[in-house]
Amino acid sequence: MKTGNTETEVLQKFLADRRLNRSRVREEILDVFLRAERHLTADQLYQLARRRLPSVGYATVYRSLKIFCDCGLCRPIKLENEPVRYEHLYRHDHHDHLVCTRCGRLVEVFDPTLEQLQEKLGRKHGFQMERHRLELYGICPECRKKGGPDDRN
């Protein structure tokens, strides 16, 4: 099912600029990706896509994801001990990740003061800053309440 959303337009513009073709398969994959819970792995997207496109291959999913990333619709995020996940990016503000080391819960956080300090720290070393990646690891409120056998970790 096609949706006339702006993400699709971003993709179309990206393709047009490069004289690339549109394709039904890729657009279906994008639609599946956009509707899905955030932070899918390539394999999860592949599994979902196969419901609509039973013959789609891994390679096409990977190729599509690469294009989506190139046109700024998503971004790969690699957390520890996990396969790469892809995060929606378009019209989502920059944020960092707060990860629970017990249950894996992922919270998106943002602190402008932190952002400024990071920028400043880079500049202090003469760098022209482009971006950063911050992951905070800890135990989320729910897991803290539960306690558990590995409470001391």
CB atoms within 10 A of CB 31: 18
52 binds, options DNA, a second copy, none, Cβ within 5 to 8 A by partner type: none
Judge whether 115 is annotated as a binding position.
Answer: yes
118 binds, options a second copy, DNA, none, Cβ within 5 to 8 A by partner type: a second copy
Nearest-10 crossing angle of helices 42-52, 24-35: 120
Q: Which residues contact 136 (CB under 8 A, 6 or more apart)?
A: 96, 97, 98, 99, 109
Binding region for DNA (CB under 7 A): 15, 19-26, 41-43, 53, 55-60, 62-64, 66, 83-84
CA dist 68 and 71 (Å) reads 5
Judge whether 100 is annotated as a binding position.
Answer: yes
- Residue 111 contacts residue 63 (beta carbons within 8 Å): no
Point out the annotated binding site for Fe cation: 94, 96, 115, 132
Given the rule CB under 8 A, which residues bind a second copy? 78, 80, 96, 98, 100-101, 107, 109, 111, 113-114, 117-118, 121-122, 125-141, 144
Point out the annotated binding site for Zn(2+): 100, 103, 140, 143
